[in-house]
Amino acid sequence: MPDTENSPNHVAIIMDGNGRWAQMRHRPRLMGHHAGARRVQEVVRACPDLGVKYLTIFAFSTENWKRTQTEVAGLMKLFKRYIRREAASLLEEGVRVRFIGDRVRLEPALVDLMDGLELLTADNDKVHLTIALNYGGRDEVARAAKRLAYDVSMGKLDPKSICDETFPKYLDTHVLPDPDLVIRTSGEARISNFLLWQSAYAEYEFIDTLWPDFTKDIFAEVVGRFGTRERRFGAVTV
Phi, psi (5° rounding) for residue 154? -90, 0
Query: Does residue 103 bind ligand FPP (CB under 6 A)?
Result: no
Residue 54 CB neighbour total at 10 angstroms: 22
> Which of 33/53 has CB closer to ligand FPP?
33
Interface of this chain with ligand FPP, residues 1 to 20, rule: CB under 6 A: 15-20
What is the distance between the alpha carbons of residues 94 and 112, in angstroms, rounded to a whole number? 21
The mark string for 170-199 relative to ligand FPP (x by CB under 6 A, - otherwise) is ----------------x-------------
Terminal CA-CA length for the chain: 32
Q: How far is the CB of 211 from ligand FPP (least distance, A)?
A: 6
Q: Does 40 bind ligand FPP (CB under 6 A)?
A: yes
**Rounded (to 5) percent helix, strand, coil in the chain:** 45, 15, 40
Residue 18 falls in the annotated catalytic set: no
CA 215 to chain centre: 17
- Of 64, 124, 178, 213, which is the active-site residue? 64
> Which one of 43, 47, 55, 59 is in contact with ligand FPP (CB under 6 A)?
59
Residue 110 CB-half CA count within 13 A: 19
Using a 10 angstrom Cβ sphere, with 0-12 exposed, 13-18 middle and 19 or more buried, the burial of residue 164 is exposed
What distance in Å separates the CA atoms of residue 207 and residue 185, rounded to the nearest whole number? 5
Assess 37 for contact with ligand FPP (CB under 6 A).
Answer: yes
Cβ nearer to ligand FPP, comparing 17 with 101 = 17
Q: Among residues 3, 6, 9, 16, which one is catalytic?
A: 16
Asked about 64 being catalytic, the answer comes back as yes
User: Under the criterion CB under 6 A, does residue 47 sit at the interface with ligand FPP?
Assistant: no
Active-site residue numbers? 16, 64
Kindly list the residues in this chain that would bind ligand FPP in the complex (CB under 6 A): 15-20, 33, 36-37, 40, 59, 64, 78-79, 82, 131, 186, 211
